[in-house]
Structure formats: structure tokens, C-alpha cells
Structure 1
Amino acid sequence: MSQKTLRIALNGVTGRMGYRQHLLRSVLELRDRGGIEIADGERVAVEPILVGRDSAKLAEMAQRHSIDEWSTELDTVLSDESVDVYFDAQITSARERGVRAAIAAGKHVYSEKPVAESSSQAVELARLAERAGIRHGVVHDKLYLPGLLKLRRLIDGGFFGRVLSVRGEFGYWVFEGDWQSAQRPSWNYRAEDGGGIVSDMFCHWHYVLENLFGRVDSVTARATTHIPTRWDERGEAYEATADDSAYGIFELANGVIAQINSSWAVRVNRDELVEFQVDGTEGSAVAGLRGCRVQHRSMTPKPVWNPDLPTGERFREQWSQVPDNEEFENGFKAQWERFLHDVLRDRPHPYDFFAGARGIQLAEAGLRSSRDGQRVPLESLER
């Protein structure tokens, strides 16, 4: 009996994230280990098809990774009935067209976030996908990170008692590009190209909060551009029209208050590039990308405020590391595998376009809050 193969068209994988995380560490990893394992040890092979605008880059990448097919003609690829899945990692402003075309062609669609430039567009895409009877998903990679998986384990085990608050710190210094090259593409800092840290990161914060702690009811935020001039990939100066830092307060339906700072203009003084501190009546935890440390109420010290004496306590040493207790996959690959399983089993993917639309809605509300200087409630998005 011939082996079933899932043929996946990947659009935009010549970019940094599309290449490193989605192609190299996810789809090619799955291909090279023999595909997706299903019932009774049976496997479904994975075959990538590269799509993009630069034929030279695509040809070189295909040769380097032994990929048989590549194309600069998206419509031609989508018209191929043997293609099962379309993935989009293009810049945000170009994404909707590709996703719409894939839905119209009857392909299952998996997309980087945000799936569209507005929540209304994302909801429309979700409804189109539902009517087409396809499986649709948006990247929710941080839920699969070891640190947040350990945090999930603590929540499920009742470690926190009643959760009171969440405090998040994310960011690092992105060089301006003049005397040292920038670590992020220049379009990230141009609002006209879909850039901005609110549009990028608030989508992440939404699904982290929604899936771990509860529905987000409102946001109060301040977005700003700390670095007004940057230098692009050609070494030319340009005006940064998008926000590079945002400071948000998120109120959840169950009374939990979350505060998350996001910045590409901050120097790191923490163990990881992102950390979440969760405080509850029974205990607290600090989770990063990989690690998670805890302090139970029974082991909580009693600090006394005295500004006239040096602090003798080593507060960080009073916390304990949560053990791994399992092997963790790359977060992007883990969600890829989950999405492809959902395609093969013809079941809804939990992190679908509607979930993606709610993340975009939070980003829109955050920008409106910053502009108007007020708390913005979130309305329910109808399926």
C-alpha cells in the first residue's frame, strides 16, 4: 500500500522566521523523521513546496534542503489538486490575499499571526474557511514553550489557589542599524507595512492570557516609539512610524489583572527574553521560555522594609525550579504537528482564525486605548 503524503505549500519562508522556525525546525524536521505518526504506527509523509517572489533564493534553498518543488506563481501552486495545505509567513500586509486564494482553492490553511491586518478581516477569513469546510489555524507557538507548559501544569494541579495577577516583561535592545546591524527587519518599524510591537506582541499576549488564565475583557495601554530613526537593510536612514514599545494592563473576566511590558528598546536584566510572574493565594511562579521557578505560601519569607539597612536576603535563591518531567519539542514544530493531525483527522484546530481574530482585536483595542488615553472594553466577536 502506498504511503499517504501531505503536500504543503509554504509562502514566505525566505524570511527569517519563516525559514528558521517553520521550514527548517518544523516542516523539514517532520519530513526527515518520516512524517506524522498516526494510529498503529502508520505515518503520513510531509512534502514541502516553496513559494515566494525571489526565484534565486527559492532555487538555492530548495537545492540546499533537497526540496523538489518551488515556485514564484502562487496561483499555479494553489491550482494543483495534490497540494493539501497552504502556509503563509509573508509580511502582514501581503498575507490576506494569499490566505483568501488558498481558501478559495479548498486548501487547509495555517498562518503566521496576525492572519490579517484587522479583526474584521480576520473574522471574514474565518467565516470563509468555515463555509469552505477546511481546517484553519494561526500560530500560537508560545503555548508550546517548556516554561509555559510547566506553568500550565501548575495551574492544572491547583498550585496557585486563586490566581490574583500576572506580570509580564518582554523585550530586548534591537540595534538601530547604523553602527550595528538590526536583529529585526526594517518593516517591523513602519506602520504602513504592518509593523509595530502592539500588532506583533498583543496577539501573543492575548492567546497566552486567554488559554492560561481567562478571557480578556478590557485593555488600558500606552504605545510609543522610543527610537524615531532607524537604518534599513541597505544602510539608509528611515523614520520609524510604528511603535517599538507598549505598556499594557489587561483585565480578565475572572478578575485577574495582567500587566505586560513589551519593548524593542530595553536592555535585558532577567533570566529570559520573556518572563511571566503569576501570583496566587497559595503560591507564585515565574515562567520564561524554558524555565519556571516557584515559591509556595508555606515557603514564603517575610521581608521587612527598611531603607536604612542593606538587604541581606537573596530573594532569587528562595525560589525552586520546576522539573522538566518530560521532553519538550520545539514550540513551532509541536503546533505544526498538532495542526497536521487535525487536518488528517478532520477535526477543528483549537487555535483557529477566530482565535487569531481575537488577538488582532486586542491589538486594535490597545492602540485605541493608547491614542484616546482610556480603558477599552472588548466586545465578543461572533463566529
Structure 2
Amino acid sequence: MNDTLRNAAAPIRVGIIGAGTWAEYGHIPALKQLPQYLITAVFSRSAEKAARVAASHGIAHAVTSLDELVNHPEVDLVLVLNQAPQHEAGIRAAIAAGKDVYCEWPLTTSTAVSAELAQLAEQAGVRNIVGLQRRLAPGYRYVSDLLAEGYIGQLRSVRMHVSVESFGAQRASYLAYTVPPENFSDLLPIFGGHFLDILFAHFGFPRQFNALTANQIKQVAIDGSDELIPHTTPDQILLHGVFANGAVLSVQLEAGKRNNFGLQIDLTGTEGDLKISNSTCFGPPVNLIEGARGDAQPLQALPVPAKYDWLPAHELGGSTAELAHLYAAHARDRRDGTQLAPAFRDAVNMHEVIDLILESDRTGVRTAVPTVKTP
């Protein structure tokens, strides 16, 4: 629906496709935190699940078909929250209905299909958002501004280590879908996509890189099942590259970490250093930001200024708060005509980077990164 057709002060009415764990743990609490939104409808392949979620969260309509959801007169924004192989159908239906559309990352399981959907959304004039929400967390935006203000001088290096406590040889039943390669939901697309997007959104795309991947986990057991499923996708990814200004990039992603897991990003500059860390890759804790300037100085905690928090007072965990910031950005975009929230075109850029990583690993050749397209 065109933004001008409704009073700008009226809430954005949301219809949800997919009533799984992340919908209830992440999206519904995030949206309920923001007065700019009202969840009005939910659809699931299980009518019983849709009815349960609607009743639990005060959602007025539990609908029984995708067509009913996207064409519902009380839905302005369609959220596509089911698994990656099912995203395309929901996105196409929302675009055909002329509705704004949010889709979880990965956008689809195919770079070509994702590019087609980005073009369709742009041609239809519907606002489109992809769930690469981590870039909008207050801490990352604060660090980005510190860099722009010269806190550490000229950037010399970026080092990121993401060690994931899940995606190992034993997985919870709700993670069974991450094993088949055709689902495009393994370590590189999921954690690589989210965390590489942080780097690229705030520090730019590297000019070139080389990549190495390894498949050390050969089979996966799912909780509650005796079956061992062949596992053929990478559970270790190494990426080394260089940015346009000569700063170097080093990334390691590893799955199935038993201990000492989490996130660490180190930024080295000519005048100082910054560090971003977290004891988990996905969960309640928020990032710790630390910095130091000069020589041989201890890192000091840098509290994130209140101006970077776009949310009302809340008790949301780190990952859910990141998602709420994405929705806050979308509400601002609708109001101001901006593009703060990541769009489908950002998803296509990430798809293409993942393709380049796999190509570099296959050939052993350093890969040039083409100029990215922006929304």
C-alpha cells in the first residue's frame, strides 16, 4: 500500500508469514516494543500453530492461506519469516499484492532469484527490507562514527573472529534445516552473511580477498533422532583481503565451538585501537565496546551514548533489540523517505560475496570484488 494512502501517524499494520521460534522470540517482541507497528495477521502452514500464536500474542487474524495474508485489508507490511527455500513464494505474493515486504536473510537460496526479486520489488515501488539487522545495533553505529571522527586515526586492519556454539555435530531439532546444502542455511550464509554485513556496511567492501573453507564435521546428529545426516558444507571459513585504502582484513568463522565462543572484532588504527566483543554470537548479551588511544594504553570500556538507541525503554535481549532497531529504521524510512534499513539489494550484494568466497576457495585464486550496487 502506498504510504500516502494512510495517515502517517497510523501504525504500520503487519502480517506475518511463518510462526516459528524466531517469530515468537524475535519479531513479535521487537514489533510490540515499537508504537509505530501493530501486528494484525499471521499465517502458518499449520492452522493450529497460527491460531495458537495469534491467541498468545493478541493478533486479531489467524488466516489460512498465503493469498489471504498478503491481500488482507489490514496488512501494510508482510513479514516473510519461514525457512529460506520458502521465501521466494511469500516475497512474490507480497509484491504482487502491492505490499511492502520484509524477508529474513538469506533472501532466497539462489543469487539469481534474489536479484530477480530485488528488481521486481523496485519496479513495483514497494519498500523492501532484508533481515540483516545487526548492522543497525547501536554499538556498531557508534563505532562507525568513532572511526569517521578519527578516534583511532587511519584504519590499518580489521580482524573478526566469529566462533559459533551451535551448528556442530549435534544439533537441536529446530536446526535440522541447517544441514542440507540446498537450504542455503549453513554457517557461511547464516553467520557469515550476518557478520560480514556488519563489516561491509560500516567499513566498506574489500577490494579483493582470498578464501579458504573446510568441512571438518562430516555428519550431524539431530536431538531425538538416531539418524546421522551427511554434512558437506563448510564449518570453518577463513577470509583475508584488503580494503581500498590499504587496510587489511582477516576473518575466521567456525561452527561447533565447545567453549570460549562468541564474537570479537579488532580495529587497528594509526592512533589507537577499538575492540567489539560478545560472549555469544546470537543471544541476550549486548556487545562490549572498548578503545584506547596512544601507545601501550589499556583498553577502556566505551559506553554507547543514548542517542544511538532508537527504542523506547526496554528489556529486550541483544539479538531481539537489533531486530527492533531494524524496524525502527524502517519506520523512519517510511516517514522521511530515507533508506536506513537494509534492502533486497543489500541481500544480493551479500549473495554475490558468498559466491566469490566459494569461488576463491575452489580455485585458490585471490578474488577481486566488483563495485557493489546500492538500493
TM-score range, shorter chain: 0.7 to 0.9
Q: C-alpha separation between the residues in 1 aligned to 2:110 and 2:167?
A: 29
Partner SS for 1:269:
coil
Q: Which of these residues, 157, 165, 168, is aligned with residue 149 of structure 2?
A: 157
Post-superposition offset of 1:382:
5.3
Deviations 1:206-259 (A, max 9, x none): 422222212332332122222211122541321113222211123322222211
Amino acid at match of 1:225: N
Q: Which of these residues, 348, 352, 355, is aligned with residue 361 of structure 1?
A: 352
Partner SS for 1:216:
coil
Q: Greater relative contact order (Cα 8 A, min sep 6): structure 1 or 2?
A: 1
1:28 and 2:4 aligned? no
Q: Which of these residues, 109, 119, 132, is aligned with residue 111 of structure 2?
A: 119
Contact 1:135/1:347 (8 A) holds in 2? no
Gapped runs of 5+ residues in structure 1?
37-44, 302-317
Post-superposition offset of 1:268:
4.1
Matches within 5 A, 1:231-310: 231-235=221-225, 236-269=227-260, 273-288=262-277, 289-297=286-294, 299-300=295-296
Contact 1:50/1:62 (8 A) holds in 2? yes
1:9 and 2:15 aligned? yes
Matches within 5 A, 1:76-91: 76-91=68-83
Say if 1:52 and 1:274 are closer, same or farther in 2 by CA, change over 3 A. same
Amino acid at match of 1:6: I
Partner SS for 2:207:
strand
Partner SS for 2:359:
helix
Say if 1:164 and 1:274 are closer, same or farther in 2 by CA, change over 3 A. same
Contact 1:284/1:294 (8 A) holds in 2? yes
Partner SS for 1:185:
helix
Cα RMSD (Å) of the superposition?
2.5
Post-superposition offset of 1:263:
1.4
Q: C-alpha separation between the residues in 2 aligned to 1:21 and 1:294?
A: 30
Contact 1:91/1:194 (8 A) holds in 2? no
Say if 1:173 and 1:205 are closer, same or farther in 2 by CA, change over 3 A. closer
Contact 1:135/1:349 (8 A) holds in 2? no
Post-superposition offset of 1:197:
1.2
Count of aligned pairs between the two proteins: 348
Q: Sequence identity of aligned pairs in percent?
A: 22
Segment drifting more, 146-155 vs 329-338: 146-155
Q: C-alpha separation between the residues in 1 aligned to 2:337 and 2:19?
A: 26
Segment drifting more, 332-341 vs 251-260: 251-260
Contact 2:168/2:256 (8 A) holds in 1? no
Partner SS for 1:94:
helix
Say if 1:362 and 1:280 are closer, same or farther in 2 by CA, change over 3 A. same
Gapped runs of 5+ residues in structure 2?
1-5, 278-285, 312-320
Partner SS for 1:262:
strand
Deviations 1:297-335 (A, max 9, x none): 2x426xxxxxxxxxxxxxxxx211112332745111011
Partner residue, 2:92: 100
1:229 and 2:209 aligned? no
- TM-score normalized by structure 2? 0.85
Say if 1:250 and 1:120 are closer, same or farther in 2 by CA, change over 3 A. farther
Contact 1:170/1:275 (8 A) holds in 2? yes
Partner residue, 2:371: 380
Segment drifting more, 48-57 vs 160-169: 48-57
Q: C-alpha separation between the residues in 2 aligned to 1:255 and 1:214?
A: 12
Partner SS for 2:327:
helix
Q: C-alpha separation between the residues in 1 aligned to 2:41 and 2:322?
A: 22
**Higher radius of gyration, 1 or 2:** 1
Deviations 1:112-153 (A, max 9, x none): 112122333222212111111111111232223343233123
Partner residue, 1:321: 301
Contact 2:139/2:304 (8 A) holds in 1? no
